[in-house]
Amino acid sequence: MCSRAWFVAVMTGLAVACGSTVNVGRERSLLLEVDQQWSQSTNDVDKFLSYYAPDAAVYPPGMPIAQGTAPIREAFTKMRSMPGFSLQWKPTGATVSGAGDLGYTTGTYRMTINDPTGTPIPERGKYVAVWKKQPGGQWKVAEDIFNADTPPPVPASKVEPPTPTKASHPKAKPGKSSSRKRHS
C-alpha cells in the first residue's frame, strides 16, 4: 500500500510539473497590445519591419508573396512610395494557443492612396496576422495577409470605333453598288 501511495504522489507531482503554466488570457491581451503598437509604426520602416519574424511571409493583394526581411521591406517600401499613402489598422480580436507560443490577431484597416489626379482613394479591409513567440519571449508576425472589403475597380474599357464596311462607307449611296461593271 505504501508503494502505491508513493507512486500516486510521484505521478501527481509529474503531472503538475508538466502542466501548462501559460496564462492564455494575459498572452491574448499582450498580443492585442503588441499589434496595436505595431499599427503605430507605419511611418518608420525599420520599426515596422521589427515586428516581423526573420522568415515571415506577407501576402499583399495584387503582389507576389514577400517572404523574409528583404522582400517584405521591398513590398512595404513599394506601397509607401505610392502618392498619398497612409495606413491605419485596429486589432479587434486575438487568439492564443494553450501552449502560449502561437496566436493570431484579426482586425480592420484603412489605407489611402491618391489616384492620378491627386484625389485620395480610401480602401477599407480586414486582416489576419499569425504571431509566433520567439525564443526571447517576444511576439513576432509569422504570416500577414489582408484584403479589401470591396473588389478592385474595373478598368475603363477602351471602345474601338467600328471598322467601316462597304455599306457604311461615307461615299456609298444606298441601294447602289460602289463598284462599276463594264459592259461588253
Cα radius of gyration rounded to whole Å, the chain:
31
Pairing of the two strands 52-59 and 139-148: parallel
Is the pLDDT score of 170 beyond 70? no
CATH class of 22-148: alpha beta
Q: Which of 142, 152, 149 is nearest to 72 (CA)?
A: 142
Task: Give residue-wise pLDDT tens across range 97-119.
Answer: 999 999 999 999 999 999 999 99
Residue 27: pLDDT above 70? yes
Task: Calculate ∠ Cα 46-148-47, nearest 5°.
Answer: 10
Q: Is the pLDDT of residue 62 over 60?
A: yes
What is the value of pTM for the model shown? 0.71
Report CA-CA distances (Å) from 6 to 9, 17, 19, 92. 5, 16, 20, 50
SS3 content of the chain, % helix, strand, coil (to 5): 25, 30, 40
